[in-house]
Amino acid sequence: MEYVFVPGAWHGGWSWHPVAQRVARVGHRAVTLTMPGLSAGDDPRELRLADAVAYLVAEVERRDLTDVVLVGHSWGGIPIAGAARRLGRRLRGIVMVSAFVPRGGESMAEAMGPEVGEYVRATIEASSDHTISIDFAAFRESLMQDEPEDLQRLVYELLVPQPGGYMLDSLDVTDLAALDVPMAYLLAERDRALAVPGAELAARLGVEPVLIPGTHEAIITHADDVAKALQASLDA
């Protein structure tokens, strides 16, 4: 199988490296992607969600991947939902890891609820480069709580501002459950960052969540567990 890893908001392909390396060691191909606008030197101002979806599809096609398992973390579930149908027979399966599974017409900002959604929109509109960042206190308390502070700060320093279009745009159609491929939802036991309960998000795929140890950043802190659950989920 050929695993294509899509990171969450503020993260790059680096966040998937610990899991990807473990998957590669047992003989699978592993590709970690960084979405446009999330690398140093990128210009995020004009980027829209459609650009992230198009990039994901284009990378699969450019690399001529034909047995693809899309794996998304957090916000990464959204571009996966947009790309899945466009990949056609190349798609082997989908695994979401504490990821957002969008509904048609609902943006990431809207999924967070009216109050938070309005804050996200206002922050992006006020930003000179049309992005939104996360401060360390929010990151520490909601994405990586209870982990050592030196590790929290190390991961936080790797984050970059998220292009605003990625948070404000929505997909028209997202019925992933209708796709004829295996799917799984891995849910970190101590995740507090999801805008919607993990069981509800898993139900949108037509599956029950599989619990894994860790917080929202389990792909970094519990890579062994994530890699094992990832491979077992599609073998079941």
Confidence at residue 40, expressed as pLDDT on a 0 to 100 scale: 86
Confidence at residue 148, expressed as pLDDT on a 0 to 100 scale: 97
Confidence at residue 11, expressed as pLDDT on a 0 to 100 scale: 98
Show which residues are catalytic.
Answer: 74
pLDDT in tens, the chain (236 residues): 999 999 999 999 999 999 999 999 999 999 999 999 999 889 999 999 999 999 999 999 999 999 999 999 999 999 999 999 999 999 999 999 999 999 999 999 999 889 999 999 999 999 999 999 999 999 999 999 999 999 999 999 999 999 999 999 999 977 888 899 999 999 999 999 998 899 999 999 999 999 999 999 999 999 999 999 999 987 64
Confidence at residue 192, expressed as pLDDT on a 0 to 100 scale: 94
Alpha helices in the chain (DSSP H): 17-25, 49-62, 77-87, 108-111, 114-126, 136-138, 149-157, 164-168, 198-203, 218-221, 223-235
- Write the burial class of residue 226 (CB in 10 Å: 0-12 exposed, 13-18 middle, 19+ buried): buried
Contact in structure between 135 and 10 (CB atoms under 8 Å):
no
